Structure 1
């Protein structure tokens, strides 16, 4: 089941409040796929859509469409801050296996 870190929940609530959208939530969706698996997108949304899974953490709601929820498994949404920048990340699970030799995988 998808998890949300305390740090990610608090940062998302802070962002939603700054946008004047308290009570809204985050939406996670599949944003394309490559030889190494799906890429994910994130947005804000007022409410769940029909068929969504909803994950809650510390008062934050995360809406996930069925396609994304199935592929996320035991991963965790976190928020990181480093010298290179800051943002939400999805951690955990096994790294994808890239054996096709495509040029888009490093």
Structure 2
């Protein structure tokens, strides 16, 4: 199964954040999915140094690692994480090939597997 990758911009920003916190050598970026949000599922990201048996670890540029648990990987396999800046500020953006619809703010999504056949408006107020 495909993993999760960081763009060069995301790796640079993430590496700088981890270096500031003194955890670049010991921690990874954990990407996970949980229920909620207007799309039915939400992305989450945190720094983590505790990896379990069901976790997949993906090496990234600059010595960084991304870790994803098996359940979340089902929903985010092949996703690409970028860091983008615009007039409203900057932030991480997940381009998920498994998402059939997503919230306006990009933090909530729905996959074909999680879609129960209902038609929903793509307006969550974001």
Shift of 1:103: 6.5
Q: Residue 6 of structure 1 contacts residue 57 of structure 1 at CA under 8 Å; is this kept in 2?
A: no
Question: Are 1:12 and 2:14 matched, yes or no?
Answer: yes
Question: 1:27 is matched with which residue?
Answer: 30
CA RMSD of aligned residues (A): 2.4
> In structure 2, how many angstroms separate the alpha carbons of the residues matched to 1:22 and 1:12?
9
Alignment partner of 1:50 out of 49, 53, 78: 53
Please list every run of 5 or more consecutive structure 2 residues that lacks an aligned counterpart in the other structure.
102-109, 111-117
Structure 1 segment 19-98 matched on structure 2, within 5 A: 19-23=21-25, 24-34=27-37, 36-58=39-61, 59-93=63-97, 94-96=99-101
Out of 60-69 and 29-38, give the one that drifted further.
29-38
TM-score, scaled relative to structure 1: 0.82
> What TM-score do you get using the length of structure 2 for normalisation?
0.71
CA contact (8 A) 2:76 2:96 kept: no
| Structure 1 spans left out of the alignment, 5+ residues | none
Segment drifting more, 9-18 vs 95-104: 95-104
Which 4+ runs in 1 deviate beyond 4 A?
none
- Does the Cα contact within 8 Å between 2:5 and 2:66 map onto a contact in 1? no
Partner of 2:115: none
CA distance in 2, matches of 1:77, 1:91: 6
